[in-house]
Structure 1
Amino acid sequence: MEQDTGVKVREFMSKKIKYTDEGIGKVTIVKDCLPHPRELLLKDDSVKVTISLSKESVEFFKSEAATAHVPYQKMIRMLLDKYTKHYKENKRA
């Protein structure tokens, strides 16, 4: 059995790119979907609290947070913030 030494990969990676002055073809401008940098900052108005959650809920958030590569506490905080915002905006009399 022959061992893969990565020769083809090295040959491909060492090839020079040839740039030309040709047109780039049809261009479609899309709306910027990224949030403004200020929106990426964490809110400073956070308050530390102690809360007891069910083991099942914590395990769920830890699993989902690991998949999304975010801290599970942040995921819980974001959920509560969205819940609060929704019910503040749709407050019933």
Structure 2
Amino acid sequence: MGKNLTGIKAMLNHEKITPFVCFSWGYDFASNEKTVLAKLNVLNEFYYLNKTYIFKTDGNSDHNYFSPVSMYFREEKWEVDEMYAIMKEIAETSLRYYIF
């Protein structure tokens, strides 16, 4: 996950968006298992997990932005419809960014 995220962020470094999403589920992501979630939180530049991020944020220049990504983790299995809704929002927002 870390290597993929680093590659995506490097590839989109010149853009104002980072339309990346990851879904994972299992016991490691239970609310009482803080170790794994804490490591993932660091990968996401300390931005909240289980929230959609598309646009880079909190910067004060053209080159000084944080780029949180959409990372969804929980103990219960993800349903296709749930993932579809999130991915659709990210895809539509990304297309609008490039078209308009």
> Normalising TM by the smaller chain, what interval?
under 0.3
* Larger Rg, first or second structure (1 or 2): 1
Higher helix share: 1
Q: Normalised by the size of structure 2, how large is the TM-score?
A: 0.26
